[in-house]
Amino acid sequence: MSANQNTAFPRCFSGALKEVAREQGFTEGLYRLESESGSKFGDGFAGDLVKVFIREGDRELVILCKLLPENETRKQQGISLFVRETVAYMQILPLLLKFQDEKALAKHLPRFDNVPRCYYAKTTLDSMESVVIMEDLRLQAYRMWDKANPVDFEHARLLMATLGRLHALSFAMKDQQPEEFAQCREFTDPMTKMLALDPKKTFPKMAASMCRRAIDTLEKDDTYRRGKLELLQDRCVQEIEACVDANAAEPYAVIGHGDCWSNNVMFQYAEDNQTPSKIKLIDWQLSRYGSPVLDLVYFIFNCTDEEMRSHSYQRLLSIYYHSLSEHLHNLGGDVERQFPRSAFREQLKMFGRYGLLIAMLIMPMICTPNDELPDTNKAMEGLVKENPDGDDEVHFEYGTTEKAAIRYQKRMSGCIRDMVRFGYI
């Protein structure tokens, strides 16, 4: 689609574009706007992306605009996530990055700069409107890993090192500037807030149904592991709430990304076009203050496979911890005092099961190739409708095609086996 400056854009969207154009030095009345769809099918679940070109003379600025879905059900489900992302981009991340900038780190030292530039973000609950405007990282040759395939070691390694630096910012700032950091402590989990707005209790039913589906990936005679999961089956929501409880993670809680899976990470590559050299974390709609291990187990147990974890799980944890330790030291902190290895191990023991709880919910989507994804509007609406059969099953359309089901069985059963092997459940 294309549009000029005065037509086709919703009011809140055109106002946001106007503000960005003015801030970026375009001349009122002289620039023009054109747009096209900003994502491939299957890239995003909580919002719609529009790519906008701001053009004046021979100058062009390309931006990516994230909007609430037009579908009313998805809009109601997604508005709180847009509130969260707006605060993340406009308040929380700038606060942490300003703290890092004030440290005036030597140029050769690594730093956390792994977020896209955000030009504008605003969410208005009264009118149910939201716009987030960012740079389009694809113009710098960033791209996503194919979510349906488990990531390799090099991609996982780069993310672990990046998460170490992100979490180090919180450890350093909460220690050195506790008053300024106080607002980060209020950045509690958005998912639990969404659950409170679930009057039909759809989510607990869905989680129990997904747990039963996960159990079915195990061999029938695997009674030990099946028994472990059956204990979780009707407690999934309570277990998730326990894992994201920041108070339970103190004094080690940090600002984390919160939704760390393949579709929310973009990579830039070396000349061989295979080795990842740079990384950006996108989509901060579930970012939160909580245990640092939540980001790790979310990614590792959903985006790698059993084979890679068999030889590289501890190595990935060590890469993360070394990166956190190094960056915390460069920021003036001390990992032995603030987050010793013993505390790291204890956090994994306390919250490691979160990787499985999330896997039960999102692994079907991860294992479904984009060309086999169901229509998002229909799938999400189906979750909030009463089941005509009158039972407690919630029919989730993802991961049900033949190809997806084979992938799901292998990845999910491997996740369960590793959860038990590491003592997390």
What domains does the chain contain, in order, with CATH numbers?
A: 142-422 (3.90.1200)
Mean pLDDT of the chain: 90
- Is pLDDT of 392 > 70? no
Tell how many helices (H) and how many strands (E) occur in the chain.
17, 10
> Would you call 105 exposed, middle or buried from its count of C-beta atoms within 10 A (0-12, 13-18, 19+)?
middle
From CA 167, how far away is CA 252, in angstroms rounded?
Answer: 10
Confidence of residue 3 (pLDDT cuts 50, 70, 90): very low
**pLDDT of amino acid 217:** 97
Which pLDDT value is given to residue 166?
A: 98
Locus of tokens 């993360």: 320
* pLDDT at position 5 over 50: no
Q: Helices in 331-353 by DSSP H: which ranges?
A: 335-338, 341-351
Apex CA 326: angle with CA 247 and CA 187, to 5°? 25
- Residues with Cβ within 8 Å of 363's Cβ and at least 6 positions away in sequence, in order, are 214, 302, 399, 408, 411, 412, 415
Give the C-alpha separation, 83 to 131, whole Å. Answer: 10
The rounded Cα 233 to chain-centroid distance in angstroms is 24
- Please say whether the beta carbons of 225 and 419 come within 8 A: no
Q: Which pLDDT belongs to residue 384?
A: 47
Contact residues for 97 (Cβ-Cβ < 8 A; gap 6+): 112, 113, 169
Query: Dihedral, CA atoms, 299, 258, 202, 80, nearest 10 degrees?
Result: -150
C-alpha 215/C-alpha 175 separation (Å) is 43
How far, in Å, CA of 368 to CA of 27, rounded? Answer: 45
Q: Which amino acid is at 170?
A: S
| Higher pLDDT among residues 41 and 343, named by residue | 343
Tell me the one-letter amino acid at 247. N
**Strand, helix or coil at 352?**
coil
Q: Is the pLDDT of residue 76 over 50?
A: yes
Query: How does 328-340 read in b/e, with b if 16+ C-beta sit within 10 Å?
Result: bebbebebeebbe
Q: Are 422 and 310 within 8 A, CB to CB?
A: no
Using one digit for the tens of pLDDT, what is the confidence trace for 89-110?
A: 999 999 999 999 999 999 999 9
β-pairing, 59-67 with 129-135? antiparallel
pLDDT at 203: 86
How far, in Å, are 44, 75, 200, 212, 362 from residue 377 at the CA level? 12, 10, 19, 24, 17
Its pTM stands at 0.91
CA distance 294 to 245: 11
Q: Is the pLDDT of residue 40 over 90?
A: no
| d(C-alpha 71, C-alpha 63), whole Å | 23
Nearest Cα to 133, choosing from 59, 53, 206? 53
Among 40-44, 131-135, 370-374, the range scoring the smallest mean pLDDT is 40-44
Q: What percent of the chain has pLDDT over 70?
A: 89
Model confidence at 48, in pLDDT bands (50, 70, 90)? confident
Q: Which helix (H) or strand (E) holds 223?
A: helix 223-232
Closest CA to 267 of 135, 136, 142, 116: 142
Which value, to the nearest 10 degrees, does the dihedral of the CA atoms of residues 402, 403, 409, 414 take? 180
Confidence of residue 322 (pLDDT cuts 50, 70, 90): very high
Query: Which of 106-110, 265-269, 370-374 is the least confident region?
Result: 370-374
Q: Can you list the positions of beta strands (E) in 148-269? A: 254-256, 265-269
Are 335 and 175 a contacting pair, CB within 8 Å? no
More confident residue, 373 or 395: 373
